[in-house]
Amino acid sequence: MSFSTLVSDAWFVLRKHYLSMFLLFLPSLLFSLLLSSNLEVDPEQLMQLEVPTSFWLWMLGNLLISFWAQLAIYRYVWDQVKDQPQSSLVGYYARSLSILPILVLSMMLVSVMVGLGLMLFIIPGLYLFFRFWLVMPVIALEDTNPLAAIARSWKLTSGNGLLFMALWGAIIGFFVISGIIEGLLAQLGVPLFTLLFSSLTSLIFALMYLLISLRVYDAQLDQ
């Protein structure tokens, strides 16, 4: 399993199922746009945690809706690739809503462990982050609980440190390049065009990220 294979496989699935995946991700995208247009927070206030409670409520809502959409996409793509579609798009959302609390609790546990690791000279936190990368697809595709999902991700990510470092290096590079382009567009003074570019690149990145992690999960099952 190479980095180029992961990307090409993910791109193939994205081109084949882009419409359904876009529809599944649409509520999260719309909420993010609503969030960015209604909440303008000074970076200094954010660093000092001097922001209104409404800001954190909006951020929490955005995170939950994003998690909900990602769970639905994981299951939908998995069923399509395995030629075993289970239900309509609404059905995938309904199923994902039922396991959303499990994901939220899992992410809270992962965040605590990764956060503690980052406090210990950063490297331990990054290592834990890589090892817990597959927690979400595990929860989306397997009937499990938070602790079992974390343990499962730890097992599935064993022996692939260099691959994960390459993947996240590419992700960081993507953010840097898109940020530079977005900054140049902002200098042109056309806010709508800048917003559309930002939304489109964010959508493509999110879907590719989901597909790559799903492909890693699938490959690890065969080992």
The mean per-residue pLDDT over the stretch 168-197 comes to: 75
Q: Please give the pLDDT value at position 223.
A: 58
What secondary structure does DSSP assign to the chain, as a single string?
--HHHHHHHHHHHHHHHHHHHHHHHHHHHHHHHHHHHH----HHHHHTT---HHHHHHHHHHHHHHHHHHHHHHHHHHHHHTT---S-HHHHHHHHHHHHHHHHHHHHHHHHHHHHHHHTTSHHHHHHHHHTTTHHHHHHHS---HHHHHHHHHHHTTT-HHHHHHHHHHHHHHHHHHHHHHHHHHHTT-HHHHHHHHHHHHHHHHHHHHHHHHHHHHHHHT-
Return mean pLDDT, the chain: 79
* Of 23-37, 66-80, 95-109, 156-170, highest mean pLDDT: 95-109
Question: For the segment 93-151, what is each residue's pLDDT rounded down to a tens digit?
Answer: 888 999 999 999 999 999 999 999 888 878 888 888 888 989 999 999 998 999 999 99
Which pTM value belongs to this model? 0.79
